[in-house]
Amino acid sequence: MKKALITWITWQDGSYLAELLIEKWYEVHWLKRRSSSYNTERIDHIYEWPEIKNRKLILHYSDMTDSANLIKLVSEIKPDEIYNLAAQSHVWVSFEIPEYTTNCDAMGTLRLLEAIRVAWLEKTCKFYQASTSELFGWMDYNRPESWYNENSPMHPRSPYWCAKLYAMWIARNYKESYWMFCSNWILFNHESPRRWETFVTRKITMAVAKIKLWLQEKLYLWNLDAKRDWWHAKDYVEAMRLILQQDKPDDYVIATWESNTVRDFVNWSFEEVWIKLEWKWTWIDEKWYDKATWKYLVEVDPKYFRPAEVDFLLWDSSKARNVLWWNPKYSVRELCSEMVKSDIEKFRKDELLKAHGFEILNQYE
């Protein structure tokens, strides 16, 4: 049985990846940092699987800022594969806590690579680094043919991306220096019903569900014209697994070739609950109202403005498609529909439980 170590599965990618690896008969070790509140709702269901009786999902407490603990764990577990997903991954937050972001995302990656060397696993342990699409800064509008690929020049535009750039290069450096199997996935935005609530897609689908259920009045957003290549996280975790099954380490861009605005995602989400929005320009910004009721439902709040922004990127993922035969299964509209439906179901259930005085408690920690 192969052993995989995933640095954190309490959120989106890690939880889908853990499901996938358990199905493939891996023994999965996962790291979790201590939290004063329960935060394992995305993985609690895995412990209910009948398969878990015969296979293994093992929890270890750790933190990417704690070298000694990482060395101890890697030495004890001796994993065949390490998937480094842990990160302070919120771009706007990284402007508020740049030093912590660098410590966790950049130095954390270095600590993990060193832990592999200290444990003498350089020749046996494969390392996956979750890199990010926005390392490349912005699209050159004058050269629309210049889609980015693995070799394009980089220009990160936030402390988060600067930290991820270091992480990508230190992984490349360990590959070249010590002949370690280190591969980077350069990933675009991938979303799902398990997405953290402050990323724009989940913020939108949660608000739409609450507005539909009369639990929220309005949704406040910022840059509605920003374009993103959104796709389903399930498609991406399959790609993560594939990259470590190759004979040689390499870096790959993962993208779908489709880009849509935040405005599009808002419209699609409201369409899912049969609300048709109309735009209105005020003297400073724009507002959206429900055509049927004339109620204002979406407004712009400058609070979310970022000191530097990436408005638009297009990527060429032909290498991943040709070498790994990776092809996404979900469309962005299917993703949006799944997220809205899942949030409606979640809030209905929460309201029902509240009405009956129940609280859901986590039992696996």
Active site members: 132, 134, 160
The answer to whether 226 contacts ligand F7E (rule: CB under 6 A) is yes
For the chain, helix (H) and strand (E) counts, in that order, are: 11, 15
Alpha carbons within 13 angstroms on the beta-carbon side of residue 21 total: 32
Q: What CA dihedral angle connects 67, 73, 78 and 82, to 10 degrees? A: -70
Q: Annotate each residue in 33-72 with x if it binds ligand NAP (CB under 6 A) or - if it does not, as one string.
A: x-x---x-----------------------xxx-------
Picking from 200, 193, 340, 326, the residue whose alpha carbon sits closest to that of residue 256 is 326
Q: Annotate each residue in 306-335 with x if it binds ligand F7E (CB under 6 A) or - if it does not, as one string.
A: x--x--------------------------
Could you say which of 203, 212, 232, 234 contacts ligand F7E (CB under 6 A)?
203
Strands (E), the chain: 3-6, 27-32, 57-61, 81-84, 126-132, 181-187, 190-191, 219-221, 227-228, 231-232, 251-254, 260-261, 277-281, 286-290, 296-300
Q: Which is nearer to ligand F7E, 222 or 289 (CB)?
A: 222
H/E element, 240? helix 233-243
The answer to whether 269 contacts ligand NAP (rule: CB under 6 A) is no
Positions in 70-99 near ligand F7E (CB under 6 A): 89, 91-92
Cβ-based neighbour number of residue 291 at 10 Å: 10
> Please, what is the minimum distance in Å from the beta carbon of residue 120 to ligand F7E?
32
Could you say which of 22, 28, 104, 344 contacts ligand NAP (CB under 6 A)?
104
Picking from 360, 333, 342, the residue whose alpha carbon sits closest to that of residue 195 is 342
163 binds, among ligand F7E, ligand NAP, none (CB under 5 to 8 A by kind): none
**Bridge partner list, 59:** 30
Q: Round to whole Å and give the CA distance between 190 and 229.
A: 8
Could you say which of 138, 169, 222, 347 contacts ligand F7E (CB under 6 A)?
222
> Please, what is the minimum distance in Å from the beta carbon of residue 221 to ligand NAP?
17
Q: Annotate each residue in 177-206 with x if it binds ligand NAP (CB under 6 A) or - if it does not, as one string.
A: ----------x-xx-----x----------
Could you say which of 38, 304, 312, 347 contacts ligand F7E (CB under 6 A)?
304
Could you say which of 85, 106, 277, 310 contacts ligand NAP (CB under 6 A)?
85
Q: Round to whole Å and give the CA distance between 53 and 120.
A: 31
**CA angle 206–212–215, rounded 5-degree value:** 70
Q: Round to whole Å and give the CA distance between 153 and 148.
A: 9
> Please, what is the minimum distance in Å from the beta carbon of residue 195 to ligand F7E?
8
Residue type for position 309 = E
Counting residues that bind ligand NAP (by CB under 6 A) gives 24
Q: Annotate each residue in 227-246 with x if it binds ligand F7E (CB under 6 A) or - if it does not, as one string.
A: -x------------------
Positions in 130-149 near ligand NAP (CB under 6 A): 130, 132
The answer to whether 157 contacts ligand NAP (rule: CB under 6 A) is no
2: its two tokens: 């192969």
> Contact positions toward ligand F7E, by CB under 6 A?
89, 91-92, 132-134, 188-189, 198-200, 203, 221-223, 226, 228, 262, 304, 306, 309
> Contact positions toward ligand NAP, by CB under 6 A?
8, 10-14, 33, 35, 39, 63-65, 85-89, 104, 130, 132, 187, 189-190, 196
